[in-house]
Amino acid sequence: MSARELRASVTLASIFALRMLGVFLILPVFAVHARGMPGGGDAALVGIALGIYGLTQGILQIPMGAASDRYGRKRVIVAGLAVFALGSFIAAAAANMLWVIIGRALQGTGAISAAVTALVADSTRDEHRTKAMALVGASIGLTFAFSLVAAPVLYAAIGMNGIFAMTGLLAVAGIAAVVWVVPQAPAKIATGESAHWREVLFDRQLLRLNAGIFTLHAVQMAMFVVIPVLLVELGLPLPLHWHVYLPAVLASFVLMMPPIMVAERMGRMRLLLLAAGALMVAAQLGLRWLAPSVAALGLWLVVFFIAFNILEASFPSLTSRLAPSSARGLALGIYNTTQAIGLAIGAGVGGWLAKHHGSGSVFLFAALAMALWFAVALGLREVPVRARRSASAVADTAAR
């Protein structure tokens, strides 16, 4: 990667991480905090406060992605971060659950995932695209693991209002980074013939990738309905669960990069996706039948996260390559909306299966879902890496 590509990728991944930190930090502690607020004894309101963020995100990913095609990536990202910051400050000042819900809804309204991933795609050459997307995925995973450790400490030090205010300040810092640190994408990305939305929505190759991200996150959410319970049943107290999650996530990041780099260099991304899909099926079957201890479960989680992170990095990279350049934001908006729907459905299905058929049925569901996507993915065509440009050519194009 050129210095310009690396700067864009690292900065945008950091912006993604700062924003996701604001989301993840409240998850381990909010339900406990809410009990001391007016309306916080109503579990339904607590659930709405946690879930409405995802609802407004899912609704607005496509419009915000399309807007980034029309008005520019940076403008949309800055606007989204500003709205997210406003929602954070409202939640920080909230005296009851209603205002927390309003603040969380505004946080979700700043739906910049499509615009950020589109700008990553705009700013990198094809042969480095998946590595750049992997940095974004790694930032999210590390943020999640960090949040599990930091949230209780921060809550004790500054309280929930302080955490919400801190997330608003982080969003403001993200705006500064977008304006002054992220380099401008090559100008030619913003030009060219426009593509009709139907062309993007019903493209068979894009549909296969959208089906993949839907399945991947449905599986993830279904799994983590039961994984914490299993760890407790195996003797690991809830405050120590990060002892399993953090090593598993870190090990997976180290082990995922070599196959991605080899596949990109050899132009074998289709094969990598199929291999990761098969590995995901194996991980679910291993969690179902071969995880009698915390250590064994942790090893299968490493396998899961390797496959998960490869797919999480590859899907948006390939989506950005297959989509028309004039509709890249729209395509990634559809992709992110599909991801949000998968999160919601996976959590619901996982909870229902665990309640009525036990935790083992959740892993069998996940294995079956990934196997079905594997069958769909057999129809993927290999995406050729476009003619390589030198780093200086990329910089010259961007300067123009």
Q: Please say if the pLDDT value at position 195 is more than 50.
A: yes
- Please indicate, yes or no, if residue 343 is contained in any of the structural domains: yes
Q: Do 133 and 211 lie in a common domain?
A: no
- Please indicate, yes or no, if residue 389 is contained in any of the structural domains: no
The three-point CA angle 337-350-348 to 5° equals 50
The predicted pLDDT at position 129 comes to 77
What tokens were used for 62? 């496509």
Q: Do 202 and 322 lie in a common domain?
A: yes
Percent of the chain predicted with pLDDT > 90: 25
Q: Do 206 and 353 lie in a common domain?
A: yes
Q: Please say if the pLDDT value at position 141 is more than 70.
A: no
- Please indicate, yes or no, if residue 319 is contained in any of the structural domains: yes
On whether the CB atoms of residues 322 and 269 are closer than 8 A, the answer is no
> In this predicted structure, which of 164-168, 266-270, 274-278 has the lowest mean pLDDT?
266-270
Q: Which residues contact 69 (CB under 8 A, 6 or more apart)?
A: 118, 326, 327, 328, 329, 330
> In this predicted structure, which of 84-98, 131-145, 350-364 has the lowest mean pLDDT?
131-145
Q: Please say if the pLDDT value at position 174 is more than 50.
A: yes
Crossing angle of the two packed helices 328-357 and 359-377, in degrees rounded to 10:
150
**When comparing pLDDT for 147 and 99, which is higher?**
99
Q: Please say if the pLDDT value at position 34 is more than 60.
A: yes
- Please indicate, yes or no, if residue 392 is contained in any of the structural domains: no
Q: For residues 320-340, give the mean pLDDT.
A: 80
- Please indicate, yes or no, if residue 106 is contained in any of the structural domains: yes
In whole angstroms, give the CA distance from residue 252 to residue 245: 11
Which CATH number do you get for residue 248? 1.20.1250.20
- Please indicate, yes or no, if residue 388 is contained in any of the structural domains: no
Q: Do 14 and 133 lie in a common domain?
A: yes
Sign of CA dihedral 257, 259, 262, 267: negative
Where is the domain boundary, 155, 185, 215?
185
Q: How confident is the model at residue 394 (pLDDT cuts 50, 70, 90)?
A: very low
Q: Do 141 and 242 lie in a common domain?
A: no
In whole angstroms, give the CA distance from residue 61 to residue 335: 9
Q: Do 297 and 167 lie in a common domain?
A: no
In whole angstroms, give the CA distance from residue 248 to residue 243: 9
Q: Do 74 and 119 lie in a common domain?
A: yes
The pTM assigned to this predicted structure is: 0.74
Residue 354: which of 370, 366, 338 has the closest Cα? 366
Q: Please say if the pLDDT value at position 104 is more than 60.
A: yes
Q: Do 202 and 175 lie in a common domain?
A: no
Q: How confident is the model at residue 264 (pLDDT cuts 50, 70, 90)?
A: confident
What tokens were used for 151? 């949230």
Q: Do 223 and 307 lie in a common domain?
A: yes
Q: Do 369 and 235 lie in a common domain?
A: yes
- Please indicate, yes or no, if residue 362 is contained in any of the structural domains: yes
Where is the domain boundary, 126, 161, 185?
185
Q: Please say if the pLDDT value at position 364 is more than 90.
A: yes
The predicted pLDDT at position 298 comes to 93
Q: Which residues contact 205 (CB under 8 A, 6 or more apart)?
A: 322, 380, 381
- Please indicate, yes or no, if residue 393 is contained in any of the structural domains: no
**When comparing pLDDT for 1 and 90, which is higher?**
90
For residue 151, give its domain range.
Answer: 1-185
Amino acid at 156: A
Q: How confident is the model at residue 400 (pLDDT cuts 50, 70, 90)?
A: very low
Where is the domain boundary, 150, 185, 220?
185
Q: For residues 78-99, give the mean pLDDT.
A: 92
Q: Do 147 and 222 lie in a common domain?
A: no
How many domains, the chain? 2
CB atoms within 10 A of CB 261: 15
